[in-house]
């Protein structure tokens, strides 16, 4: 029974990955059902039952998410080009769909993105992936490593997570201007609060890029710091890298009590590989979660 469920969920996962990777391709019902090796006559109901959102809406949201990132990148294509690549025959149809989802026109979003409705609009995408199999970890998945001190440039986010996308955009713009590519300069997140604190205003996270270069006083919001070296329990996450709470929960609830280890006085943090969130598809990102130990 368990093996059958894992196989079923793996086939559904294949569909989400295929959609993410082929947004410019044919994503009709027959094509995506074939990816999962399910009958096209039942697949739309299977997909909706599994993810709580239809195939059509999931694909539409995935297109709009990519389009919104391209709009926010002010050096990218024109609004008309972005509309065509999102599957709309005319810019006005794209503008209507965009305004319906994000409460802003594409041109207004490009000029000054309002990230709160943007974050809310993509709840169905995040929920869809979270409805797949619950990822389970085992003690063998955790490695204890001695980490060296890592100098970093830090941009602090303090306050409601709804404002996090705007902080991320500021971080991306700064690292681009500084010439610190994600491929050559590692990206870290330091989690200084719970993911969903009781008071949303108490959410706190540091977004960091590995560098020892001096930070100019003109770089508003950026500051130099160091992730201290020392022993860490390391758990590799390759599934839902947008939500590391299940992996952190495993380390704290299961691994730590059974290990006999004691935690060190520094927050749990992670390193993101290959590309920086939110521009990379889920399947392109691997995260290492670090729990500092004495």
Quick one: tokens of 222?
Answer: 């950026």
The pLDDT tens digits for 156-187 are 999 998 888 889 888 988 988 888 887 789 99
Q: Tell me which of 102, 130, 158 is where a domain ends.
A: 130
Question: Side by side, which strands form the sheet with 142-147?
Answer: 142-147, 230-237, 286-292, 269-273, 187-191, 204-210, 150-158, 222-227
Please state, for a pLDDT cut of 70, what percent of the chain lies above it: 90
Q: What is the CATH number of the domain that holds 88?
A: 1.10.10.60
Are residues 81 and 48 part of one domain? Answer: yes
CA geometry: angle at 103 spanning 44 and 80, to 5°? 80
Domain count, the chain: 2
Any idea which residue has 């590995």 for tokens?
A: 210
Q: Is the pLDDT at 252 greater than 90, yes or no?
A: yes
Residue 43 confidence (pLDDT): 86
Task: Quote the CA–CA distance of 214 and 122 in Å, as a whole number.
Answer: 37
**Same structural domain, 268 and 199:** yes
CATH number at residue 174: 3.20.80.10
Do the Cβ atoms of 266 and 232 come closer than 8 Å?
A: no
pLDDT, tens digit (0-9, with 9 covering 90-100), for 40-81: 888 888 888 888 888 888 888 888 888 888 887 766 678 888
> Are 223 and 153 spatial neighbours (Cβ–Cβ below 8 Å)?
yes
Residue found under tokens 């130099």: 224
pTM of the model: 0.63
User: How many C-beta neighbours within 10 Å does residue 199 have?
Assistant: 8
């Amino acid at each position: 029974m368990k093996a059958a469920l894992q196989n079923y969920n793996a086939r559904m996962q294949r569909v989400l990955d295929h959609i993410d990777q082929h947004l410019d391709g044919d994503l009709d019902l027959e094509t995506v059902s074939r990816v999962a090796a399910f009958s096209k006559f039942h697949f739309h109901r299977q997909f909706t039952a599994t993810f709580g959102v239809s195939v059509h809406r999931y694909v539409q949201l995935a297109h709009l998410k990519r389009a919104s990132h391209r709009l926010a990148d002010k050096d990218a294509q024109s609004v008309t080009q972005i509309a065509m690549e999102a599957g709309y025959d005319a810019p006005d149809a794209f503008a209507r769909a965009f305004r319906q989802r994000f409460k802003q026109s594409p041109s207004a979003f490009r000029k000054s993105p309002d990230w709160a409705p943007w974050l809310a609009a993509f709840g169905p995408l995040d929920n869809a992936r979270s409805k797949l199999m619950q990822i389970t970890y085992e003690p063998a998945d955790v490695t204890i490593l001695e980490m060296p001190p890592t100098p970093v440039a830090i941009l602090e986010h303090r306050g409601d997570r709804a404002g996090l996308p705007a902080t991320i955009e500021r971080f991306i713009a700064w690292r681009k201007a500084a010439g610190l590519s994600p491929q050559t300069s590692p990206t870290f997140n330091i989690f200084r609060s719970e993911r969903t604190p009781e008071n949303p205003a108490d959410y706190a996270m540091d977004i960091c890029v590995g560098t020892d270069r001096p930070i100019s006083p003109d770089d508003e919001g950026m500051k130099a710091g160091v992730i201290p070296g020392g022993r860490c329990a390391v758990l590799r996450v390759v599934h839902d890298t947008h939500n590391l709470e299940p992996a952190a929960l495993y380390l704290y609830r299961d691994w730590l009590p059974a290990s006999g280890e004691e935690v060190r006085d520094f927050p749990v943090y992670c390193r993101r590989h290959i590309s920086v969130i939110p521009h990379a598809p889920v399947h392109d990102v691997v995260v290492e979660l670090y729990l500092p130990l004495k």
